[in-house]
Chains A and B, each alone.
Chain A
Amino acid sequence: MNRPELVCPAGTPSAMRTAVDAGADAVYCGFQNATNARNFPGLNFTIPELEKSVAHAHAGDTKVLLAVNTFPPAGKVNLWKEAVDEGARIGVDAFIVADIGVADYIHKNHPEIRLHLSVQAAASTPEAIKFYCREFNVKRVVLPRILTVPEIKNMADEIPCEIETFIFGNHGLMVEGRCSLTNYITGLSTNMDGVCSPAADVQYIKDDAGNMTTKLGEFTIDCFSCDENAGYPTICKGRYLTPAHDGAYYAFEEPISLNLSTLLPDLMAAGVTALKIEGRQRSRAYVKSVVSAYRKAVDSIMAGGEPEISGLLALTEGQKETQGAFKSKTWR
């Protein structure tokens, strides 16, 4: 069994240093603009910050993967090209892309730098993935979180590139790269502006009894009673009243996090090359805890032991965790 690469999130330079120190094999990050899918206020890297951070990561033998994984709107593609050119100049180890135009630009202008296909591309069939490999020399695909472990094994046997799967964080069951829920409510696009549920449109309203209502724009997403755990203020994790259901219910997804710690040996045996921790928007405390735990677990498996991970439940959304579709298509 090959030793998998532990790919960890970094929303700030401090988080990147934390990830490196906690044992990340690779760190993924983005610039402070719409070229990446976590374009949140106050998050991400300036060009000088990325220069320093890449130098620090490389000194720790950690790779840096630059997410340029949103879709340029017509007439604005230069911002994506500039992000790619700066990343190449700085010396990132790979680009994570979703848009075929951006992939083509990198393939033609920076062929020496590895190309990873983002989950935002939603490539979930061998046919689609082979196309990206053939046309753009993609070296790795980040699989959508909708495949079982046996399906991933079959995929590994059929495609000519490495596989990266999420192991912790956002459950992410939507057809990624195609979700327009935020756009419908706020006018901003998750896929082109890089922001899901922009904070400027989020409101938390607490009543005297301690109940909390979450709103995005004019729409109420959920109302948590005072003793109920909360989730992110995203439309896909809202609880809604509909004539088809008694009472409010989670129509799309529940506030719950993926945690595949017990499936790690199966994923590694299935041929997964890289294990990805989600959460660039999270704190360095989250990065430290999750990366350290998974570093220890992967090392334990490679030494013939069992993955022992505990203490991460407090970091999960809604304080609940699942193995999602990786375990079974009927997880819910």
Chain B
Amino acid sequence: MSNLAEFKAAIGQDMTHTNPTPEISASSPHLARWMPPAPLFMLQPILRRIVKRVARENPDMFGRLGPHYKANFVIDPMNLPFVLLLRPDPDNLFLRAYRRRDLPDHDAKISGKFLDLLMLVDGDVDGDALFFARELTITGNTEAVVCLRNALDDVDGSIASDVANMFGPVGRTTLSALRRAKQRQTSN
């Protein structure tokens, strides 16, 4: 599979239905409506690569998870057609996509728009501010979510850029398009 196809799959886009450098509308509340069904079987190995890469690059982050490193977090990008299940156990890392109707058992769920979640992971947006604005919803084990948030926030640099770099120029171009979309959304 090409780098482009892998990265499109990672963000829930089928390469056959999008331009090479997509202009993504962040203001669309339901990207999932016009997106084709995500090829989840293609996503899983990519997600495994991503989570292993992030863990390898940022080993210190696990210390902030405390007793919650075995917790199961559902990350719900509400405008994409799938959710992610994350278990940040450094000895048994797990990141897998599920269709929303097949929601797996979990300890906590974090829901928000995809671009907001992306910026949150990258330390570009304040999670409390998103929460105040009702753009971020937390359910389940709040303490586990606070630990995960603090662990990610202590990572210097950009996790999204690291992931994009895994897919070469195409990954970087797509990430730039996503960030531009978010900037347009913020300035509107």
- Beyond A232-B128, A283-B127, A315-B126, 18 additional pairs, beta carbon < 8 A: A15-B153, A15-B154, A17-B156, A41-B143, A41-B150, A42-B64, A42-B66, A42-B146, A200-B142, A202-B143, A203-B142, A224-B134, A255-B132, A283-B123, A283-B149, A285-B126, A286-B128, A315-B129
**Chain A stretch 34-56: residues in CB contact (< 8 A) with chain B:** 40-43, 46
A23 at the A/B interface (Cβ < 8 Å)? no
- Whether B142 and A286, one on each chain, are in contact in the complex, defined by CB atoms closer than 8 angstroms, is no
The CA-CA distance from A289 to B124 in the complex, in Å, is: 10
B151 touching A314 by the CB < 8 A rule? no
Are B66 and A314 in contact (CB-based, < 8 A)? no
Cα–Cα, bound, A17→B64 (Å): 18
Decide if B146 touches A199 in the complex (CB within 8 Å).
yes
Question: Please, what's the 1-or-0 string for A278-316, where 1 marks a CB less than 8 Å from any CB in chain B?
Answer: 000111111001000000000000000000000000111
Report if B3 contacts A (CB, 8 A).
Answer: no
CB-CB < 8 A to B64: which residues of A?
12, 42-43
Q: Let me know if B139 and A206 touch, CB within 8 A.
A: yes
Query: Is B153 touching A283 in the complex (CB atoms < 8 A)?
Result: yes
Answer yes or no: A157 CB below 8 A from chain B CBs: no
A12 pairs with B134, CB closer than 8 A: no
Provide the residues of chain A in CB contact with B137, threshold 8 Å.
204, 206, 212
Count the A residues whose beta carbon is within 8 Å of the partner chain — how many?
42
Give the residues from 171 to 209 in chain A that come closer than 8 angstroms, CB to CB, to chain B.
Answer: 198-200, 202-206
Which chain B residues border A316 with CB–CB below 8 Å? 132
Query: Does A238 make an interface contact (CB < 8 A)?
Result: no
Q: Is the CB of A204 within 8 A of B153?
A: no
Pair A204/B139 contact, Cβ less than 8 Å: yes
The yes or no answer to A87 lying at the interface (CB within 8 A) is: no
Task: Tell me the smallest distance from the CB of B141 to a CB of chain A, in Å.
Answer: 8
Of A46, A204, A282, A285, which is within 8 A of B124 by CB? A285
A11 to chain B: closest CB distance in Å? 7
Identity of the chain B residue whose Cβ is nearest the Cβ of A290 in the assembled complex: B126
Which residues of chain B are within 8 angstroms of A17 by Cβ–Cβ distance? 156
Tell me if A230 counts as interface (CB < 8 A to partner B): yes
Q: Does the CB pair B155–A14 fall under 8 Å?
A: yes
A229 near B132 with CB under 8 A, answer yes
Query: In the complex, what distance in Å separates the CA atom of A232 from the CA atom of B66?
Result: 23
CB distance from B35 to the nearest CB of A (A): 23
Query: Who on chain A is nearest to B136 by CB?
Result: A230
CB distance from B52 to the nearest CB of A (A): 22
What are the interface flags for A1-32 relative to B under an 8 Å C-beta threshold, 1 for contact and 0 otherwise? 00000000001111101000000000000000
Could you say which residues of chain A place their CB within 8 Å of the CB of B123?
Answer: 14, 283-285
Does the CB pair B146–A41 fall under 8 Å?
Answer: yes
A265 within 8 Å of B (CB atoms):
no
Which of chain B's residues have a CB closer than 8 A to the CB of A285? Answer: 123-126
- Asked if B142 and A42 make an inter-chain contact with CB atoms under 8 angstroms apart, the answer reads no
Give B153 Cβ to nearest chain A Cβ, in Å: 5
Write out, one digit per residue, whether chain B residues 63-92 have a CB within 8 A of any chain A CB (1) or not (0). Answer: 111101000000000000000000000000
Question: A93 on the interface (CB 8 Å rule)?
Answer: no
Contact in complex: A200, B143 (CB < 8 Å): yes
- Point out the residues of chain B lying under 8 angstroms from A137, CB to CB: none
Contact (A286, B143) CB under 8 Å given A228-B134, A230-B132? no
